[in-house]
């Protein structure tokens, strides 16, 4: 980071990005994101007036620390908070996987505030563009996942209209793609109608319930899900949590060979979920899927814009497992990805 001037909005967004990327608590981040949203529509004169009068904190969503950031940026200084975070957090997240990371063209798994993500659709798209992605698949949750405000068919239909509108504003060079993280129901069917699934570009299917199911039943459930005509990616296959503020839990037990063979047979990619609290699949299963010839998708599963950068972790693991970039579907250009996902 140089000492170049940065606009107040850019400073607030960058601070939020760095905090999210470092997995800081969302309440710390929210202050900066809401302050950015408050000043974005202000004219230069309005903003200058508030800085000059010291009345920034009278505006909704602006507190002492975001007010200081705005004031310092407005004066042409690098805000102290930003400088400190750049120093502390801006380095690469993982030591390995750099080459693979630069080969990735997009991300197939992300959430907005339409389900359990923390930011609006357009903010996820802007950040994906800033990270150099050619595409981002928005995959909010399906109806059954009520705790995550899963989208009904009706809300998903409305979201598709919003995605079209966002793409119109973004212009060429980047595509926000339509997707879903659809729950795998107990019998292996998917938690959204075929009619809606057909309107999407990419579908990630994941188990979010009854993770401790008997292994034989879980195998049948997952094999059935992988065989559904619309399934493209098998999300975080074991569901394990290895660290983080949600606590830890063991992964589901199932016949991984049978499930990954089904993935090969149905041309479904196995997700390498980059979230440090998931690190899913575990290394032994990752190597089994590699040996069986599976395709992979390295996904961020981002629930906030800064978390889109977590792909570093998945790339490090994929590289360590010796998985060729060609077998990773998000190294493919968008057109090839879409042809694969909608064959
Ligand atoms: Zn999930
Ligand atoms: Zn997810």
Ligand 2 centroid–CA 320 distance in Å is 24
pLDDT tens for each residue of 137-152: 999 999 999 999 999 9
**Positions of CATH 3.20.20.140 in the chain:** 98-341
User: Cα–Cα distance between 318 and 290 in angstroms, integer?
Assistant: 10
User: Cα–Cα distance between 275 and 257 in angstroms, integer?
Assistant: 24
pLDDT tens for each residue of 22-73: 998 878 899 999 999 999 999 999 999 999 999 999 999 999 999 999 999 9
User: Cα–Cα distance between 264 and 259 in angstroms, integer?
Assistant: 9
278 band by pLDDT with thresholds 50, 70 and 90: very high
Question: Tokens 């979010």 appear where?
Answer: 208
φ, ψ dihedrals at 210, nearest 5°: 45, 50
Q: Where are the beta strands (DSSP E) in the chain?
A: 106-107, 135-138, 175-183, 202-206, 233-234, 269-273, 295-299
Work out whether the CA dihedral 189, 327, 108, 285 comes out positive or negative: positive
Ligand 2 centroid–CA 273 distance in Å is 9
pLDDT tens for each residue of 315-333: 999 999 999 999 999 999 9
User: Cα–Cα distance between 272 and 301 in angstroms, integer?
Assistant: 10
Average pLDDT over residues 274-283: 97
Ion ligand 1: protein residues whose beta carbon lies under 5 Å: 206
- Does the domain at 98-341 match CATH 3.20.20.140? Answer given as yes
Ligand 2 centroid–CA 321 distance in Å is 23
Predicted confidence at residue 244, as pLDDT, reads 86
Ligand 2 centroid–CA 204 distance in Å is 9
Average pLDDT over residues 75-86: 96
Ligand 2 centroid–CA 111 distance in Å is 6
Question: Which of the listed CATH numbers 3.40.50, 2.50.20, 1.10.357, 1.10.150 matches domain 8-89?
Answer: 1.10.150
Give the chain's mean pLDDT: 96
Predicted confidence at residue 246, as pLDDT, reads 85
Question: Does the structure show a pLDDT above 70 at 2?
Answer: no
Ion ligand 2: protein residues whose beta carbon lies under 5 Å: 181, 301
Question: Tokens 């928005």 appear where?
Answer: 138
Average pLDDT over residues 6-30: 93
User: What is the value of pTM for the model shown?
Assistant: 0.95
Pull the structure tokens for residue 140. 């909010």
**Positions of CATH 1.10.150 in the chain:** 8-89
1 band by pLDDT with thresholds 50, 70 and 90: very low
Helix axes 153-170, 121-130, angle to 10 degrees: 40
Ligand 2 centroid–CA 207 distance in Å is 10
- Shortest-distance ligand to the CA of residue 236: 1
CA 129-132-134 angle, 5° bins: 75
Ligand 1 centroid–CA 131 distance in Å is 23
User: Cα–Cα distance between 336 and 325 in angstroms, integer?
Assistant: 14
Predicted confidence at residue 63, as pLDDT, reads 95
Pull the structure tokens for residue 95. 């030591």
């Amino acid at each position: 980071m140089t000492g170049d001037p940065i606009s107040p909005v850019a400073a607030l967004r960058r601070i939020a990005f760095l905090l999210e990327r470092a997995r800081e608590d969302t309440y710390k981040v929210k202050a900066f994101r809401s302050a950015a949203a408050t000043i974005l529509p202000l004219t230069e004169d309005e903003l200058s007036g508030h800085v000059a009068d010291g009345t920034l904190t009278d505006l909704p969503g602006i507190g002492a620390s975001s007010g200081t950031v705005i004031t310092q940026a407005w004066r042409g200084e690098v805000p102290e908070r930003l400088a400190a975070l750049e120093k502390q957090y801006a380095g690469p997240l993982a030591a390995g996987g750099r080459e693979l990371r630069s080969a990735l063209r997009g991300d197939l798994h992300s959430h907005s505030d339409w389900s359990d993500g923390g930011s609006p659709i357009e903010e996820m798209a802007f950040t994906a563009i800033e990270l150099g992605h050619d595409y981002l698949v928005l995959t909010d949750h399906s109806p059954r996942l009520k705790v995550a405000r899963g989208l009904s068919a009706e809300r998903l239909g409305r979201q598709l209209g919003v995605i079209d509108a966002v793409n119109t504003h973004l212009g060429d060079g980047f595509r926000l793609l339509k997707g879903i993280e659809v729950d795998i129901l107990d019998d292996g069917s998917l938690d959204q109608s075929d009619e809606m699934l057909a309107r999407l570009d990419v579908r990630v299917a994941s188990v979010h319930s009854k993770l401790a199911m008997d292994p034989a039943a879980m195998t049948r459930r997952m094999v059935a899900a992988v065989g559904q005509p619309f399934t493209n990616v098998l999300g975080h296959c074991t569901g394990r949590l290895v660290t983080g503020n949600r606590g830890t839990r063991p992964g589901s037990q199932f016949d991984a060979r049978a499930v990954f063979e089904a993935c090969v047979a149905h041309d479904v990619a196995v997700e390498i979920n980059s979230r440090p609290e998931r690190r899913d699949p575990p290394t032994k299963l990752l190597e089994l899927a590699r040996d069986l010839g599976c395709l992979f998708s390295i996904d961020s599963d981002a629930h906030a814009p800064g978390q889109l950068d977590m792909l570093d972790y998945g790339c490090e693991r994929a590289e360590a497992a010796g998985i060729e970039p060609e077998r990773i579907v998000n190294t493919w250009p968008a057109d090839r990805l879409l042809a694969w996902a909608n064959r």
